[in-house]
Structure 1
Amino acid sequence: MSASEPIPVYTSLTDLYGSLGTSLNHAERWNNIAEEFQRQFGRKPAYIARAPGRVNLIGEHIDYCLFGVLPAAIERDILIAISPRPHHHDHAPGSVVAENMHTKYTRQVFAPAPRRKASVSEEEVHVEEWHLDINTKELRWESYVKAGYYGVLINYFTGGGNPAPVDILVTGTVPAGSGLSSSAAMVVGSTLAFLAVNGKLEPNFTGSGPQISKGQLVEMAVANEKRVGVNSGGMDQAASVISVPSSALYISFFPSLSASSVPLPPGAVFIIANSLVISDKAVTAKRNYNLRVVETLAAARILALRLGVKVGAEERVTLREVIGRLAGEIEGEGDGEGMPIEWIEETLRRMEREVEGLKPAKATEDGQLGVKMEEMIRMSGLSEGEFKQVYLSWVEVEATHFQLYKRAKHVFTEASRVLQFRKTCLSSQSTESLNPLDVIKRLGELMNESQTSCDELFECSCPELNELTKIAREAGAFGSRLTGAGWGGCTVSLVSEDNVDAFIKQVSERYGPYKGLEGEKLSEVIFATKPSSGACGEWGFFIVAVAFDVSCFIWRTRPSF
């Protein structure tokens, strides 16, 4: 399984990006960060860690219901250059000087502090022996750096030893707040960089030292990101770490996190387009994201009750767990999903019928298909106190009607589309008679169906995303849908490789907010990407090569291909 593989280490960008043409596009960035590090800190970086952003090709808002999703790493990434600081007596253990190449961010200096045993409880003293301030109310860029560092401290420096004082320099091309998981990429890259500089991640080519697997890095990064107040299910981190070139990643979450690559058909390119609508999740969560979580959980309990599936009185069962119990799933069987995928597909088809039982007998005067709070509680079989304790004591929501039917129907149909997308891709690899164009068209159809469901059933789209997907299809996209949580952010469109330039030109001319954008400013909001490789490191002697000009770098790497 991909998650069990070690973190890859490369000695040339060609090995990383897969082709000379692609590596040429990135060589200047690697050269720039190495040179800027030397300018600011007076020496070359010892390591450069890379962590890409991700695009979710299909499978929106179903990961927290524990259904599988299909993201892919994108070429845009976060780069973190790091080097131990020469030892001086005035350096605090593990102190960090952090710079960001983006001029709007200022230098940050911080150091972890060992916790005195008298300052923590008996339970805490065995868990965390370090303190590092992270402001969860105001998410600053260095908070994500600190989050990655914190995981390294508590996993490798409890019970003795001090981390190295370091200098780091960060740069990135993943647009912040766009739904492409720049935050997860920052945390993954930071975790990897601090592991490397402290000797906890030995390069593969030495043949010595501990080998941390991709899955272990994912687990660390998920835990680390929670330190900035983000309760992630693992999709973003897994996509950033485990992805391989030219493939999507099928990630399942039940009974445990697992991932496997899904090769994509040749000739297909994904275009990311930013709607330029920013959804402040912290402000809107009680009406949007958090509300959807509660609606899917309540729907799961009510469906379980209707179908005679046993659920504990205080249990927050998910829709994925309901179908598993309904199908007699035995944990540990199947392809990382508990039960075989064929069983899941069959049970999903049944649930698409069963979910109609959540649909109110008639819509309200304003067209509502939801139910009021008191009706939802009655349907759950719990008392008001029990229901609020299980579903509302840990999250704030705001609604007059709860859309149990719409949300559950989206989840079941979207989960089914993910499996169809996966099967279509795998079938195209095993059956030579399939026309690649027909495969791409089918994938596009599934993406379009997903967008319709996100808009009409899950109601996480917005007018700008709807307009962008419509323009994209008219400009030649086989399929186009929102990606990320929605309510703003980006779309992803499946486009033929020979239509990329014409497609971008048409969209940029027709989408109002893009008017007047040219060159680099336009490429920041709409750009092509092929599925990229996951997080990796560039070590030691490679840095010497990359510090030269680009032509020297190309000459040095040319023999490798």
Structure 2
Amino acid sequence: MRVVEAFRAAYGAAPQTVWRAPGRVNLIGEHTDYNDGFVLPFAVPWGVTAAITPRTDDTIRLLSLQAPGEPVTIASHDQSAGWTRYVVGVFAMLGERVRGADIAIDGDVPQGAGLSSSAALEVAVASALNDLHGLGLTPMEIALLSQKAENDFVGMPCGIMDQAASALCQEGHALFLDCRSLASRNIPLDLAAHGLSMLIIDTQVHHQHADGEYAKRRAECESAARKLGVPALRDVTDLAAALDQLQGDERKRTMHIVTENHRVEALIGLLRAGAVAEIGALLNASHLSLRDQYEVSSPELDVAVEAAVKGGARGARMTGGGFGGSAIALVPVDRLASVEESVTGAYAEHGFQAPRFLTTTPARGAHRLA
């Protein structure tokens, strides 16, 4: 294992433990997490591996195989910029329960595809520290601690979905998560048994206004919920009556959140009935809602989704926050080449940068390697 070899070369001995945590794709349930709603992510085969030995002082020595050079030495509460904040944030959230550590990191999450490498890094480190120090944290507690590190230390107001997927997912399953109660269960998602594959279409585009628009959508949802007299849009039970009370963007945002929660539940029903090939229509509907009601798509995402379906995908949609990033397409295995050709051709016609394709199956959540 190359991370162990790198650790030994940097620190002179083998690590005491090695943990791996994956990135994730969200099958359906977009922008519902911060509305106390439902999400259905699954872990991907790519992730972050952390080799760690604890120290008796408060120093953290960090080596990344993706940033070659000597280990970076930092204090356990140093808020310096860069990727090290995600690691230091985990230490900060654990407080006096841990001290310093020697760490080597190796990651293979494709960069820029929106597969949540930051959550994978946090969960890998938190899981290793939990193991080393016998802290007794459950996978959900590890996910919550990792989310808190990103919220409070890094300063990114993300929901719980990414960290929960990284910590709790099971191979061959998607994770149904209620973002209010944090109740979760793994739902079988055996794509290969149905002759299907999940194709990730990385647009390789991220528009600059995404962060501000994300905050704007969140504020619109909170304002709509206040006007409707509910704790969150998840609590709207009569959509028609709710829409009569709202106007403009708040009306559209509410329509998306309420119907998206219904789509999550409907998709789970199809999976439980073994109708995996039939979920494509829900993926299509989710994309149209994200494009027209939530307005977080982009020309590149729209072209990818439309071309994928024309090329033979059973369904497709943007995944993640939007304004770029990736789309996913549910594709019969024998149609993969046709779908990739269709999307590539459509991108060329529009003058877009060529997309990147990745095929994935639901992978295992955080686990110990050594």
TM-score exceeds 0.5: yes
More strand by share: 2
1:38 counterpart = 2:2: no
* Aligned pairs (5 A) from 1:373-452: 403-428=249-274, 439-452=275-288
What runs of 5+ residues in structure 1 fail to find an aligned partner? 1-30, 86-91, 113-131, 158-162, 202-210, 305-310, 312-316, 324-346, 361-369, 371-402, 429-438, 516-521, 540-561
**Secondary structure of 1:291's partner?**
helix
Q: 2:79 aligns with which of 120, 130, 134?
A: 134
Q: 1:534 aligns with which of 356, 365, 370?
A: 365
Q: Which residue is equivalent to 1:290? A: 215
- Separation of aligned partners in 1, 2:187 and 2:335: 24
- Separation of aligned partners in 1, 2:54 and 2:58: 9
Asked if the contact 1:440/1:478 (under 8 Å) is kept, the reply is: no
Q: Which residue is equivalent to 1:213? A: 138
Q: Which residue is equivalent to 1:493? A: 329
Residues 25-58 of structure 1, C-alpha deviation per residue, up to 9 Å, x if partnerless? xxxxxx2222222233332222111111111111
Larger radius of gyration: 1
Q: Which residue is equivalent to 2:206? A: 278
- Separation of aligned partners in 1, 2:298 and 2:27: 18
Residues 480-531 of structure 1, C-alpha deviation per residue, up to 9 Å, x if partnerless? 111110011111111123433554455445534554xxxxxx8xx3211101
**Secondary structure of 2:309's partner?**
helix
Q: Which residue is equivalent to 2:243? A: 356
- Separation of aligned partners in 2, 1:468 and 1:167: 43
Q: 1:527 to 1:284 in 2, by over 3 A?
A: closer
Residues 69-112 of structure 1, C-alpha deviation per residue, up to 9 Å, x if partnerless? 11111111111112246xxxxxx713121111114687421123
- Separation of aligned partners in 2, 1:478 and 1:528: 15
Q: 2:39 aligns with which of 48, 65, 69?
A: 69
**Secondary structure of 2:270's partner?**
helix
Asked if the contact 1:248/1:261 (under 8 Å) is kept, the reply is: yes
Q: 1:505 to 1:427 in 2, by over 3 A?
A: same
Asked if the contact 1:151/1:191 (under 8 Å) is kept, the reply is: no
Residues 349-390 of structure 1, C-alpha deviation per residue, up to 9 Å, x if partnerless? x32x22330465xxxxxxxxx2xxxxxxxxxxxxxxxxxxxx
Matched AA of 1:181: S
Asked if the contact 1:148/1:194 (under 8 Å) is kept, the reply is: no
RMSD: 2.2
Q: 1:97 to 1:359 in 2, by over 3 A?
A: closer
**Secondary structure of 2:225's partner?**
helix
What runs of 5+ residues in structure 2 fail to find an aligned partner? none
- Separation of aligned partners in 2, 1:142 and 1:220: 16
Q: 2:51 aligns with which of 65, 81, 106?
A: 81
Q: Which residue is equivalent to 2:128? A: 193
Q: Which residue is equivalent to 1:111? A: 75
- Separation of aligned partners in 2, 1:111 and 1:103: 19
Asked if the contact 2:63/2:103 (under 8 Å) is kept, the reply is: yes
**Secondary structure of 1:300's partner?**
helix
Asked if the contact 1:508/1:514 (under 8 Å) is kept, the reply is: no
**Secondary structure of 2:329's partner?**
strand
Q: Which residue is equivalent to 1:543? A: none
Matched AA of 1:492: I
- Separation of aligned partners in 1, 2:46 and 2:334: 21
- Separation of aligned partners in 1, 2:282 and 2:57: 53
- Separation of aligned partners in 1, 2:37 and 2:205: 28
Counting aligned pairs with the same residue, the percent is: 31
- Separation of aligned partners in 1, 2:245 and 2:278: 30
**Secondary structure of 1:276's partner?**
strand
**Secondary structure of 1:262's partner?**
strand
Q: 2:189 aligns with which of 244, 253, 264?
A: 264
Q: Which residue is equivalent to 1:57? A: 27
| TM-score normalised according to structure 2 size | 0.91
- Separation of aligned partners in 1, 2:120 and 2:299: 28
1:147 counterpart = 2:81: no
- Separation of aligned partners in 2, 1:151 and 1:460: 32
- Separation of aligned partners in 1, 2:262 and 2:106: 38
1:471 counterpart = 2:289: no
Q: 1:101 aligns with which of 59, 62, 65?
A: 65
Q: Which residue is equivalent to 1:178? A: 113
- Separation of aligned partners in 1, 2:280 and 2:69: 39
Asked if the contact 1:465/1:482 (under 8 Å) is kept, the reply is: yes
Q: 2:167 aligns with which of 235, 238, 241?
A: 241
Q: Which residue is equivalent to 2:318? A: 482
- Separation of aligned partners in 2, 1:504 and 1:192: 37
**Secondary structure of 1:212's partner?**
coil
- Separation of aligned partners in 2, 1:105 and 1:55: 31
Give 1:182 deviation, angstroms: 1.2
**Secondary structure of 2:369's partner?**
strand
Give 1:417 deviation, angstroms: 0.5
